[in-house]
Amino acid sequence: MAQDTPPPQADRALPQQGERALRRREARRTQSYRTFLHELATAGTMTNDEAERAASAVLCALEQRLLGGEAEQLADQLPQRLQEMLWRCERHESSGPPLKLDRHGFLEMVSQDLGLDSSADAEPIVRTVFALLRTQVSEGEAEDVMGQLPEDLRELWRRPV
């Protein structure tokens, strides 16, 4: 019977291994988020703080456009910090159900969130955030998101040809 009981050292090793795995996983998620922000800042010629605000504004607007659990499915494939940005931002928390935003409405919302002069100024930012988001998710999920966007907004989500 004593042979069935693992040595005390083995009992301690399992929690430590689990903790190390969790720390490694969290480090990868943090690195993925930092890489995302760095790539966004570089592509959009902005600071990391501006890139974070841009990502937050675009993700918040995108969440308001997605229906039927699609936001949750998208979030499941994103690093933790991007998941948090995807959920309705404080500015829009009191909004009702998802909005039927067309391209102009989407760009206008992002423009207002970022304090830009016009929705035209938001377009390259939205395009860049969308392109980087696509690199974070499977092709199937990217297609699912695109399927919920109106045609004029799909153009910003699609991969460049």
Domain boundaries, the chain: 9-157
Mean pLDDT on 8-21: 60
Share of the chain above pLDDT 90, in %: 53
Homologous superfamily of domain range 9-157 = Uncharacterized conserved protein DUF2267 (1.10.490.110)
| Model pLDDT, residue 156 | 94
What pTM, to 2 d.p., does this model score? Answer: 0.77
DSSP state of 6: P
Which residue from 99, 101, 107 is spatially nearest to 127, judged by alpha carbons?
107
**pLDDT surpassing 60 at residue 140:** yes
Name 101's Cβ contacts closer than 8 Å, sequence gap at least 6.
61, 64, 65, 109, 150, 153
Mean pLDDT of the residues in the chain: 83
Residues 53, 60: Cα–Cα separation, whole Å: 10
Strands (E), the chain: none
